[in-house]
């Protein structure tokens, strides 16, 4: 058990808090919740210190605990919004023509104007994107974040959030459509 001797929980905040906070805030899009999740991660790690086998670095181990905490948040939000399971109507009908699925006039995607790199514009765009993400329903945000930020597979997301594969694709589609509309309006 020499790996336990190398672990110093008193240094976790100095060594890992900023990284874990940045990791959490990009996934939950809520600064207060991200801070709480980092604190919960440290507490859970202290409780499970005897289970740390030393096969990974402290940061990797703490990040894995944080990922589980974030997943718990997504599951709680998803269970509250189970009414979204029945996504068979509304939403995308306003944007697409019935029958052929083409964009309706006036709803086609527009050029965002971020093709060239500009650090200031990217900061502004990221701020607008964060605001748009906050407007998504909790389940949609969870699915979108897991798919496009954490790059999880459809099977894992469906299993963890208890949604069907077809519902997953409807949620992804609607999240993208809503994000596009929000970005076009605000950017």
130 vs 90, which has greater pLDDT? 130
Q: How far apart are CA 137 and CA 156, in angstroms?
A: 20
User: pLDDT (tens digit, 9 = 90+) per residue, 44-89?
Assistant: 999 998 888 888 889 999 999 999 999 888 888 776 555 444 444 4
Q: Please report the pLDDT score of residue 83 as a whole number.
A: 46
Given the structure tokens 């997301």, which residue do they identify?
A: 157
Residue 107, classed as helix, strand or coil, is: coil
- Give residue 17's pLDDT: 93
User: Of 5-14, 109-118, 124-133, 159-168, where does mean pLDDT reach its minimum?
Assistant: 109-118
Residue range 82-186 in CATH 1.10.10.10: yes
Other C-beta atoms closer than 10 Å to the C-beta of 138 total: 17
Q: What is the CA radius of gyration of the chain?
A: 20
**Could you tell me the pTM of the whole model?**
0.60
119-132 per-position pLDDT tens digit: 666 788 888 888 89
Domain regions of the chain by residue span: 2-80, 82-186
The fold of the 2-80 domain, in CATH, is Rna Polymerase Sigma Factor; Chain: A (1.10.1740)
Tokens representing residue 34 in the block: 């991200």
More confident residue, 108 or 44: 44
């Amino acid at each position: 058990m020499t790996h336990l001797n190398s672990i110093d929980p008193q240094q976790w905040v100095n060594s890992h808090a900023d990284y874990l906070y940045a990791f959490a805030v990009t996934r939950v899009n809520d600064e207060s919740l991200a801070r709480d999740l980092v604190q919960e991660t440290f507490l859970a790690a202290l409780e499970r210190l005897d289970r740390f086998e030393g096969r990974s670095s402290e940061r990797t181990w703490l990040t894995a605990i944080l990922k589980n905490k974030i997943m718990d948040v997504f599951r709680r939000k998803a269970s509250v919004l189970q009414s979204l399971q029945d996504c068979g109507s509304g939403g995308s009908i306003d944007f697409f023509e019935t029958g052929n699925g083409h964009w309706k006039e006036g709803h086609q995607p527009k050029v965002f104007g971020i093709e060239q790199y500009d650090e200031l514009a990217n900061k502004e765009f990221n701020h607008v994107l964060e605001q748009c993400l906050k407007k998504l329903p909790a389940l949609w945000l969870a699915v979108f974040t897991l798919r496009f930020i954490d790059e999880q597979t459809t099977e894992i997301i469906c299993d963890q959030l208890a949604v069907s594969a077809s519902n997953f694709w409807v949620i992804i589609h609607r999240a993208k459509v809503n994000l596009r509309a929000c970005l076009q309006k605000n950017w």
